[in-house]
Copies of this chain bind each other. A is one copy, B any other.
């Protein structure tokens, strides 16, 4: 038995003129799953807890985010292709523009020219015996990884969030000497980076061309690489992920999944999600467990656009769920369709509202005839916690371990 988990990011919603986007959307294929499968609602991290995308995915993969999550940095760093080791501390970072000691653009004008070269100039730094890895991501974004003894992620960020201010000095957030040490290294790195970038020919060229200089690096989202078992160690299965979102790829890498790249996918509402579905179907030939992540629903939610979210859901139904139902051996595959959290259009941010869930496979069916937030309340799974989902999936596939005798 194989398993396919499909997560539509931010799918869940509240009522707009009496219905949710998922209720308003025409979703014959999702409804087929609801009719033939078992439904329920799910608190991905916990009832009443508003989850991030990182904590919710850890939970959906069966890990307790309250135990293993310290910050977004390590997942972004893994998503950007860095290999992390236990004890590493990672940050998200921005190239920004500074003049006379004050930040005047937190994104260096969103101008990418020369950023690859500038990133290279920041490679190979070391402070107090701590090696610093710097890697550019999309746009003005980057990640920083500290590797060395006695580090901590309990340090404040250097990012100011506002312009017109000097970069923050990082300070320890607790009394642990490791936090002091890490904050010191971050401050030394920030200063040294400003010096290198300020003297770089790349920035002189940018300024000559009328562009903003990318002359400082601002760090946030400190987190420590979690010490967690991989899927293979924990569940004894080989797993792969199909996602175009670096944070999610990072979480998948952290739990030991292989990441399958789909060049046509971009993580936006206009992504070629059909290609992702193809890649997921194909991956099921080789892997026991395939995770397919689609971001567009969340993007539309953060933009507060009902029609865009509804259309994205209809595209997922047509271009992802339809082909998967047709292309997958339903007798030998458990298919799960759900979300990592709700992102109500009115809030334009994540909420604690539970998400709908359907499982197609060797399940006890129920009376639910269509897939939505409110119809799934009446499903046979009732209300479960996200951290239980992996156990259910493995169990349906005959792959869970007996507890007891």
Question: A52, B403: Cβ atoms under 8 Å?
Answer: yes
Query: For residues 362 through 405 of chain A, which have their beta carbon under 8 Å from a beta carbon of chain B?
Result: 362-366, 373-374, 377, 380-385, 388-395, 398, 400-405
Size band of the interface chain A makes with B: 35 or more
Q: Which residues of B contact A373 (CB under 8 A)?
A: 364
Binds B, one of A115-123, A163-171, A284-292, A348-356: A348-356
Q: Which residues of B contact A391 (CB under 8 A)?
A: 46-50, 352
**How far apart are the CA atoms of A383 and B379 in the complex, in Å?**
12
Question: B388, A41: Cβ atoms under 8 Å?
Answer: no
Query: For residues 242 through 262 of chain A, which have their beta carbon under 8 Å from a beta carbon of chain B?
Result: 247
Closest to A373 in B: B364
Tell me if A55 is interfacial: C-beta within 8 Å of chain B: yes
Chain B proximity of A231: nearest CB distance (Å): 15
Q: Which residues of B contact A221 (CB under 8 A)?
A: 405
Tell me if A72 is interfacial: C-beta within 8 Å of chain B: yes
Question: A15, B404: Cβ atoms under 8 Å?
Answer: no
Number of copies: 2
Q: Which residues of B contact A201 (CB under 8 A)?
A: none
Tell me if A136 is interfacial: C-beta within 8 Å of chain B: no
Partner of A352, one of B247, B374, B392: B392
Known: A382-B382, A395-B353. A45 touches B400 (CB 8 A): no
Tell me if A346 is interfacial: C-beta within 8 Å of chain B: yes
Report which residue of A52, A56, A405 has the largest number of chain B beta carbons within 10 angstroms of its beta carbon: A405
Question: B389, A55: Cβ atoms under 8 Å?
Answer: no
Query: For residues 223 through 247 of chain A, which have their beta carbon under 8 Å from a beta carbon of chain B?
Result: 247
Known: A377-B380, A391-B352. A50 touches B401 (CB 8 A): yes
Tell me if A87 is interfacial: C-beta within 8 Å of chain B: no
Q: Which residues of B contact A374 (CB under 8 A)?
A: 364-366, 380
Contact residues of A: prevailing secondary structure: loop
Question: B362, A366: Cβ atoms under 8 Å?
Answer: no
Q: Which residues of B contact A404 (CB under 8 A)?
A: 45, 51-56, 65, 69, 72
Known: A53-B405, A347-B398. A377 touches B366 (CB 8 A): yes
Q: Which residues of B contact A382 (CB under 8 A)?
A: 41, 377, 382-383
**How far apart are the CA atoms of A54 and B405 in the complex, in Å?**
6
Question: A389, B48: Cβ atoms under 8 Å?
Answer: yes
Q: Chain A 328-351 against B: per-residue CB contact (8 Å), 1 yes, 0 no?
A: 000000000000000010110111
Chain B proximity of A161: nearest CB distance (Å): 14
Chain B proximity of A80: nearest CB distance (Å): 15
Can you offer 9 A-B residue contacts whose CB atoms are under 8 A? A48-B390, A48-B391, A50-B401, A53-B404, A56-B404, A346-B362, A353-B395, A374-B380, A382-B382
